[in-house]
Structures are given as C-alpha cells and as structure tokens.
Chain A
Amino acid sequence: MIGALGNSLLWTAFLTAAVRMTIPILMAAVGEGVTERSGILNIALEGMMLVGAFFAVLGARLTGSPWLGLASGTIAAAVVATVHAYFSITVLADQVVCGAALNFVCFGLTGFLNRIIFANSMGPSGLAQFLPVDIPVLSKLPIVGASLFNQTAPCYVALAIVAGLWVFLWKTTWGLNLRAVGEHPLAAETIGIDVVRYRYAATIAGGALAGFGGGFLSLAIVNFFVEEMTNGRGFIALAAVIFGRWNPLGILAASLLFGAADALQLTVKGIGINVPYQFLLMLPYVLTITTLAMFAGHPAVPRGLYQPYHRTR
C-alpha cells in the first residue's frame, strides 16, 4: 500500500482524471453561480447538462468537428435555460417547480431523440474527439505536469471562463449590477438597472455553461452519449455553488474536490486505500451537507435568491 501511494504514475493518472472529471461539474457550477447571483435558482442544471451532452454529440456527428459539436450543445442548453428564465422571471412561476419540470422534459427529450436519431439507447461512438494538447515545458513538471498541462483544449477554455467570470463579477460594473440585482432587485431597479434583463442574461448564460459542461462530458471525456449519462452531476454542481460561496474561485475549489472524489473511485483500487468505494462516492454529498450546516446563513447567499421579482406596475 505504501508502495502504491508513492507510485507517481498512479498519482498522475489520478490527478489527470480528477481535473478531467472536475470540468463538467465546474462549468455547470460557475454558470449556476452567476445565475444565482442574479437571484434565480436553476435546479434544472442536470437536464441542461444532459441536453448539452446530447446535442454536442449530435453536432459533432453532423459537422465532423468537435468544436462545433460543443457549440451546439452549449446553444441547445441555452435554449432550455431561456424557457426556465421565461417561467421564472416573466411568468413568476416557482423556480423549483419549473426546474423540476424542465429536468423531466430534458430527460425525456434527450432519451426520445437519442433513440429516434441513433436508433438505440446507447449513442454513437467513434466521433471526432478532442485530443490532449501538450503545453510545452510545463507538461514536463513531475506529476502535476502531465495532469494539468496535458489536457484537452476545452479544459483550458473552461479554466479561462472561470477566471473571466471572476473578473466579470468582482471587477466590472456589469458584475456589480448583477450582484445588486440578486441582493436587492427593487433597489437595483430604483437606480436604473434593468432587473429583468440581467436575470434573463444570467439564467441563459448559466444554462449555456451547463451545456458546455455536458458537451465536455460527452465529447472530451467519454466520446459517446448514453441516456442519463450526467448521473447527478448537475445536482453536485448546485452543491458546489454553495460550497464555493457563490464565488467563481471558491466554486473552482469545490468542483475540484467533487471531481477528485469522482476520480478517486475510478483509481482507488490501484492506490489501494481500503475504504468501501461507496463511502467515497458519498463523500461529496456528506461534505456538502456538513459544510452547509456549519456555514448556513452565511452573508454570501444572495439575499434575493429564489425571490420572484414583481416589477411595480
């Protein structure tokens, strides 16, 4: 066991997998972070990731380009998010009810289309896929080199998005406005911020990122589509947002933790840790609940979250 722990090849394999498994959760979570910062709760992340995963495969299959595939997955999920935005912001429906309904719709839609288009419940494989891009010099670093700097291109894009969103939220006027909308929509509206527009934009952008995460899962990790392949990652992403305190960098850390737990159960037998793997699978969820209990009522929670905003007539 000691020998296995010192095995750098295993560590590299584990870290590579951890980083890779982090990206889908991370994308959905940072997107949701922005959405929730505007005051809208989207529990349909799971469904939107699934839609992203399906349409990414479909797009890649039709165009022969994984990038166009990823783009179609992103756009398709954004369309679903527009429905959520319409119901939450314009119809003023309960956001949880609408999100729950959309999850059903997405599960059904992807399953239906998959069996119609690809004629079986197991989607196509052998697509044009993303290959690892080696970053010179850095990838030669021991252990972390091969795991951090030999990932696929969308992985780097994802990390850039996280950095960009941090800058957006904390260093730009738009970001400040967005946070104001989520904290106190009436006050924001009073000083001339268009609450409805900000909430629409944030919800659609969040859905698009969930679609990107789903597309990453189907094109850059497994290279096929299977029904319900997101397997709860959309719900983990919801936890990552809270765990990461609605801050893109915090969410990055939280997603890494969840991604590592995901990767750990893949490599745990090799490393030789003698814990039932089911407990490792539980770990992210237990961690989320305990941290929530410890830090709930934290000022980071956007105060306008899940509060429908009636524009005064």
Chain B
Amino acid sequence: MPSPRSSELWRGIISSAIATALSLGVGALLMVAVGVNPLAAYVTMFRGSFESAYTVAEMLIRMTPMLLSALAFVLAFRCGLFNIGAEGQIYMGALVATVVGLYAPQHWPMAAMLPLVAIAGFTGGAAWAGIAGVLKARYRVHEIVTTIMMNYIAIFLVKYMVEGPLQEPSGGFPQTSVIADGAQLPLILPPTPLHAGLLIALAAPIVVWFLLLKTTLGFRIRVVGTNAWAARVAGMSIERTYVLAMTLSGGLAGLAGFVEISGVQHRLLEGFSPGYGFDGIAIGLLARGYVLAVAPAAMLFAILAVGANALQRTYGVPAPLVTLIQGLVILFVVYGDHARTIVHWVWQQTAARSYKVRVIR
C-alpha cells in the first residue's frame, strides 16, 4: 500500500464512491424486486440517521467502535498483516476495562479513573492481538487463522466471566455490576446519549496517521508491509515490527471495547458487540487502507446500520439487505482495481496500435 499521493488518493476516493453507488444500486434492484420504491427507501434510511439530534447521536455512537476497529484493521494491514480478530480484541478490551472499572477504588475521580480504564481496554486488546503477533513472528503461524480462532476464545471467555466469576451479585442476568461512575464516559450532547468516546474515535485517526507517516516506527511498519525483503536488507527486524503492529492494532480494537462499555453499556454482558470488529474489516477495506479515509467510510457504515432498522420498520425491507450491500461494496472496490487495469491495458494497446499505424504510413 503506497503512501497516498494525490492522484492515487483521488483515484481511490472515486473508485470507492463508484463501488458504493453500484452496491446501493444492486440494493435498489432488490428493493424493486420486493415491490418497494428504492428512492423513498434510501431517503428513509438516511433520514433514519439525521432526523433529530437523538438519531444523529445514535448514528455517531454506532460509528465510534466501528471507526476504532477499522483503524485497528488498517494499522495491521499497512504492515502486511490481516487482523481479522478485532471482534475478539474488542471483547478482551471490554473485559479488562470492566474489571478495572469494577475493582479500582470507587471514589477515585473521573480524571484518574477514566484514563486508567481506557488504558486497561487498550491493554486487553493489545495483549490479545500481541499473542497472534508473537505466534506469527516466532512460529510463522498465519495471523488470519489465529485471530479468527482467538475471536471465539475471547467471546467464550467473556461468556464464562459474566455467567461465573464476574456476574452481578444478584445473579439475575449474565452480566456484571455497573462500573464506577468515574469510569463512565461523560455525555457530550445531553439529553442525547452521545458520549465522549466519539472524541476519542475522532482523535484516533489523526494519531494513527501521525504514527504511520511521521514516526520511525510507522515508517518501519509501512516498509515491512510493502516489501518485507527490503526491510530485512535495510536491517529492520520484521518479527519485532509484526509484533508491534499487531499489538497496536489490537490496542485500537481494545479501545473500541472500552468506549462501548464505558460509554454505552456501563457493564460487561455477553454479545454486547453486534459485530463491530467485522464491520471494521469492511470499513478498512472500503477505505483501502488509508487512515484518513476510515472516518467517512465508518460514517457511511454507521448510517447504513442505523438505516437498516428504519428500512425494516417503515418498508418491511429486511435489515440484512444492508449487510449484503456492505459485502458488495468491497467486491466492487476490488473489481474496480481490476477494471482499471483492463481499461489501462486496452488504452495502451490502442495507443500503441495507432502509433504503429502512423509510423507505417
């Protein structure tokens, strides 16, 4: 993945936009097939996110963990790694954050408590992904397989914790008690439930962008991701870079777990993430690995996710249609690159031919 030169960047933006339009088009065809006016349906979908301050808040709350886990995917992706395990890292981040939020002295002020809980979340995700990084670096076990497997382990571990050792004392539901007040993210747009996690999610791309493009570590990550052999020749440790990139990537996903617990749930419970980690993969791919493109892509996915429910309520169009559209977006992006090479090739051929013809004449 090259650094975004402006022509490359514009091409990326345009092809992602075309891919999005095409997949919304396929969605429209399916709506027509079930007898729904697609234009009205899409208007309803987008209005579902922008109708009132409350719905905007709902959309931004959804966007927050999506954005962070997409950054997690992108960071590893730039190092040539596929971190498919953001979902598990979200769970581990949430677990560690909750433990700290439950057992740290309850009277601590927010200024001390909140950073501690955030660091705990980051650490939980980082450690979990770090295992996959070490397995990759030291034992050459492919990170795709380990991160997928570790998703399930993390989800079952959380399930065990909330049904066992960490279950609330009343024992009514598979969930923990509520974390300390100081460990909860403050609301930033009362009376809506929009929480300060959004600020973290908006700052994160800038931090990651700075890390990747302006620091030595970021340079190392990008070199290993672009050409591991060149990195080796230049004396960089590929293994150490893999572990570091995986750890940082997992940390970002862990932060997503933290904002979800600290900002939304205020306690740990099983199944609290509706697949934010997997959304992150799709968003990261739609953003084509560009850090700063992650935020708009995440917003698009959040709008689609919120709109899906509006679509189902108003028109009876099944909400899974949106998942289908999300998958198609990635396929179209991938196909766009191919189509571009074909067009380029054909253009070259015709250009060459006309040149030849001219010479002969």
| Interface residue B243 (Cβ < 8 Å from any Cβ of A) | no
Which residues 12-44 of A have a CB within 8 angstroms of B?
Answer: 43
Complex: chain A residue closest to B325, CB-CB? A108
Told that A239-B145, A276-B164 touch, could you supply 4 new A-B pairs with CB distance under 8 A?
A108-B322, A115-B318, A278-B157, A293-B141
**B327–A293 CB distance below 8 A:** no
Interface: A232 (CB within 8 A):
yes
**Residue numbers in B under 8 Å from A292 (CB-CB):** 135, 139, 141, 145-146
Top 8 nearest A-B pairs (CB, nearest first) are A111-B320, A108-B324, A104-B327, A108-B323, A105-B327, A101-B330, A115-B318, A278-B160
Contacts of A73-131 to chain B: CB distance below 8 A: 83, 87, 91-94, 96-98, 100-112, 114-116
What DSSP secondary structure best describes chain B's contact surface?
helix
In the assembly, what is the distance between CA of A101 and CA of B324, in Å? 9
* Distance in angstroms between the alpha carbons of A94 and B35 in the assembled complex: 36
B294 within 8 A of A: no
Cβ proximity bits B327-340 to A, threshold 8 Å, 1 near / 0 not:
11011001101100
Q: Are the CB atoms of A282 and B331 closer together than 8 Å? A: no
In the complex where A112-B30, A282-B153, A289-B135 touch, is A98 in contact with B324 (Cβ < 8 A)?
no
CA distance A105 to B148 in the complex (A): 19
B320 near A282 with CB under 8 A, answer no
A residues 221-256 in Cβ contact with B at 8 Å? 227, 232, 235, 238-239, 242
Which residues of B from 302 to 361 have beta carbons under 8 Å from A? 318-328, 330-331, 334-335, 337-338
Q: In the complex, are the beta carbons of A288 and B325 less than 8 A apart?
A: no
Docked pose: A195 CA to B157 CA in angstroms? 44
Report Cα–Cα, A98/B82, bound state, in Å: 13
Consensus secondary structure, chain A interface:
helix
Chain B residues lying within 8 Å of A109, measured Cβ to Cβ, are 320, 324
Q: Size class of A's contact patch? A: 35 or more
Give A246-282 as 1s and 0s: 1 = Cβ < 8 Å from B's Cβ atoms.
0000000000000000000000000000001011011
Is A286 located at the chain interface by the 8 A CB criterion? yes
Q: Which residue of B lies closest to A96 (CB)?
A: B82
Find out whether the CB atom of B285 lies under 8 angstroms from the CB atom of A100: yes
Q: A91-B338, A97-B285, A281-B156 are in contact. Are A112 and B321 (CB under 8 A)?
A: yes
Q: Does B149 contact A (CB under 8 A)?
A: yes
Question: Is B140 at the interface (CB under 8 A from chain A)?
Answer: yes
**Complex: A192 Cα to B318 Cα, angstroms:** 49
Contact B327 A278 (CB under 8 A): no
What is the 8 Å Cβ interface bit string for chain B, positions 23-59, against chain A (1 contact, 0 not)? 0000000100010000000000000000000000000
Contacts of B108 in A (CB 8 A): none
Q: Is B150 an interface residue (CB 8 A)?
A: yes
B144 contacts across to A, CB distance below 8 A: 43, 96
A278 to chain B, nearest CB (A): 4
CA distance A116 to B34 in the complex (A): 8
Q: Is B152 an interface residue (CB 8 A)?
A: yes
Taking the nearest CB of chain A, how far is it from the CB of B127, in angstroms? 15
Contacts A93-B338, A104-B326 given; does A289 touch B141 at CB 8 Å: yes
